[in-house]
Structure 1
Amino acid sequence: MTSFAERVAPAAELFPVEAPWPRRLGAAKTSYITRHVIDLVPSGDELMLAPATIPAAGDVILARVESIGAHDWIERPDGRKARLFAGDEIIVAYGARYATDAYEAVVPDDLGPCDLVAAGGMAGRVVGAYAGFAAPTRIVPIGQLAGPDGRGLTVRSGAPIPLLPAPPTLHPPVIAVVGASMNAGKTTSAASLVRGITRSGRRVGAAKVTGTGAGNDRWHLVDAGGAPVLDFTDAGFPSTHLVAPDDLVATYFGLLSAVAAAEPDMVVIEIADGVAHVETARLLADPAVQSTLSGVLFAAGDALGALSGVNLLRSWHLHVAAVTGKVTSSPLAAREAAALVDVPVVTTHELMEPSVAAALVALGSEAA
């Protein structure tokens, strides 16, 4: 009688190694933000680390989990949530975070112990937190991953999307989805619009051009029918907080150009955080960016937020096609908003209706 071990394929056949990574790197938990960098690591038995330097945003590091806090899992490149344990080694990147409902974090000024500030795989030093939000998971940097030349690797090292100084000459209509704040319903609204336009028989590309690196929003847009869907990590940034204005605009143009190259019928752009965020405001107020937009959907949390958001966007000479987002979760709040603004107030469910989505896109196209 054959044993169980004799009846099953060897582990090497069941789980083939897809890349000749050093054993230590293969055992580490790689994060979403660093997904484009791993294949740049030289093969061999030993993992090569770069000489120690002062950390900079985008540096990709190997780190050890010291203690578990708010983030007890890390998002893998494929979107899977890998549970974290003290002692795990993880591949993450330094970056600054701006999250009004979570952490404010900066890049540390040394290679000492720091924090896992985002589950997408970002290391930083927490300088402020939302009241009641759990303390961060603590990590200890071991060293920066090195490329074949021995130099340190960054998120930009493997980025497939180049930064462009100007918008593409030709592109389909572009609708931007912006909001009053974090968690105002921007991604849900963007995905709902993608779904509605897709159901009308048209192809939609999408991109998230600002925020903190994570795959959740991207997968949401993909599942809604967006193709292709890109984000700022594809352009080489772990986050866009504190990114130089020229690089921020160049990221927008690079992502728009890459999505437009697939020849979709329209493009939906999500811009993270709220319009009060410095990087968001700079991007939306840039004349060259504005020249690419057919219209804007504004996601608000309440009626007064809807009113102030519409007025602010108009002060930047942007056409607001509709108000949507969290405010529409309550019929009463939606009615309050409708009484204050002179644009349609549309629920995210209604955005998924082909006739509603198409009408909003037509409104934006006419205004452009």
Structure 2
Amino acid sequence: MTVIDTRYPAAATENPAGGVSAALEPGIHEQDLAAERLVAARAAYTTRFVAGQAAQQPFGYRLRSGGGVVPRAGDVVLARVLEIGQHKRLESPVSRKALLFPGQEILVAYGHRYAPDQFLAHVPSSLEPCDLVAGGGLASSVREAHARVDEATRIEPIGLLCDGDGVVTLRDRAPLQLVPAGTEVVGAPPVFAVLGSSMNSGKSTTAACLVNGLTNAGLTVSAGKVTGTGAGNDVNLFRDAGAARVIDFTDFGYPTTFQTDYAEVCRLLSSTVSVLAGDGPDAIVLEIADGIFQGETARLLRDPLFHRLVGSTLFAAQDALGALAGSRILRESGVDVAAISGVVTASPLAAAEAAGEVPERIIGTFDLCADETASGLLAECGR
């Protein structure tokens, strides 16, 4: 999909730095980006589709810079590493964690970040030095940080990546497109959603173990991650568990879903189910990122769309109190909870505490890998 950039429209003119540039607004200029420099830049996981196309055809790109440039979420930027902090590695397009060094040039995407265990960060209003707030390749400005994390790795944006149509965005090069608003998904198999009390409550592992258990039962399972921050860890985990197909929001061109218009979040949910259902699997397992108090997640739980598409949920909790609160909140929202799992089940004592307080079954995360357990949950999904 090619999108014409209309933020800084103007006719072409001569670029003093060489090549052709647009006659842009005052304080904004462009210069040609040498193919060798573009290819040599370390591309991040979030920019993998852009980097893949650039590797095949690295000519015709430019860098847009200047004080008048206002980046937006999803814009691709060439940046220089200034100082190493919390994120010491950059996840590559093939999900390799490459060690970063000061002075290196990296290709990342602007995006907002919501991570209670790390950073709250927002896209800055200029190409000022900012932060690498996620190893998957997210440029942003930290507003708040957890007390236990290091200061963010600092980067210096050099310029937004441009081609003949304007600023290159992740949506331009994404392999999947959102279904139109209001599209009804038909023919979908049973859909499980895995939610959690917070970050690091065991959602991804719970989802992967359910995928593995259903696969062990001889079923074809597809998996997706609807919301979150772009990274390859969970996608690869679902593949390792046996999922026949795995997609996430980055395949639709989103570096992160935080601060995304809610109507687009709904379209992401519908689109993910629609794409995965198109392959005809026996079941679909979805992960919904962060905790159930996170803005987009909280709204989804109350949305009729979620209730139409999702047959049942598993809730991952860190402790017994989280299990109790999550159970109550989901039931009050009308969401069916098939079982409680996650980090709480790593402690027999904590699991016993939870079992005494919630009506749902407590199932050990790795017990979900048993075909009898997983197929039993499938039989109940949507009843």
Task: Provide the TM-score with structure 1 as the length reference.
Answer: 0.91
Asked if residue 116 in structure 1 is aligned to residue 136 in structure 2, the reply is no
Which residue number corresponds to residue 130 of structure 1? Answer: 146
Secondary structure at the residue paired with 2:38? helix
Runs of 4+ in 1 over 3 A off after TM superposition: 39-47
CA distance in structure 2 between the aligned counterparts of 1:344 and 1:215, rounded to whole angstroms: 31
**34, 48, 52: which one pairs with 2:62?**
48
CA distance in structure 1 between the aligned counterparts of 2:112 and 2:290, rounded to whole angstroms: 14
Q: What is the CA distance between 1:280 and its match in structure 2? A: 0.7
CA distance in structure 2 between the aligned counterparts of 1:296 and 1:75, rounded to whole angstroms: 30
Q: What is the CA distance between 1:259 and its match in structure 2? A: 1.0
Give the AA of the match of 2:90: I
Equivalences, count: 345
CA distance in structure 2 between the aligned counterparts of 1:342 and 1:146, rounded to whole angstroms: 55
Which residue number corresponds to residue 92 of structure 1? Answer: 108
Q: What is the CA distance between 1:38 and its match in structure 2? A: 2.4
Give the AA of the match of 1:244: D
Which residue number corresponds to residue 156 of structure 1? Answer: 171
**185, 199, 217: which one pairs with 1:168?**
185
Q: CA RMSD in A?
A: 1.4
Which residue number corresponds to residue 99 of structure 2? Answer: 83
- Give runs of aligned pairs for residues 1-368 of structure 1, distance below 5 A: 22-41=35-54, 43=57, 47-50=61-64, 53-149=69-165, 151-164=166-179, 165=181, 166-366=183-383
Secondary structure at the residue paired with 2:116? coil
| Matched-pair contact (CA < 8 Å) for 1:167–1:288 | no
| Matched-pair contact (CA < 8 Å) for 2:320–2:351 | yes
CA distance in structure 1 between the aligned counterparts of 2:146 and 2:184, rounded to whole angstroms: 37
Secondary structure at the residue paired with 1:253? helix
Q: Which runs of 5+ in 1 are unaligned?
A: 1-20
- State, as a whole percentage, how many aligned pairs show the same letter: 47
Give the AA of the match of 2:104: D
CA distance in structure 2 between the aligned counterparts of 1:167 and 1:266, rounded to whole angstroms: 18
Q: What is the CA distance between 1:290 and its match in structure 2? A: 1.3
Q: Which runs of 5+ in 2 are unaligned?
A: 1-33
CA distance in structure 2 between the aligned counterparts of 1:60 and 1:333, rounded to whole angstroms: 45
| 1:63-103 alpha-carbon deviations (Å, 9 max, x no partner) | 00011111111000111111110010000000010101111
Give the AA of the match of 2:178: L
**After the TM superposition, which of the residue ranges 22-31 and 140-149 deviates more from structure 2?**
140-149
CA distance in structure 1 between the aligned counterparts of 2:326 and 2:172, rounded to whole angstroms: 37
| Matched-pair contact (CA < 8 Å) for 1:192–1:348 | yes
| 1:80-129 alpha-carbon deviations (Å, 9 max, x no partner) | 11111001000000001010111111000110100000000000000111
| Matched-pair contact (CA < 8 Å) for 1:235–1:255 | no
| Matched-pair contact (CA < 8 Å) for 1:167–1:256 | no
Q: What is the CA distance between 1:160 and its match in structure 2? A: 1.5
Give the AA of the match of 1:229: V
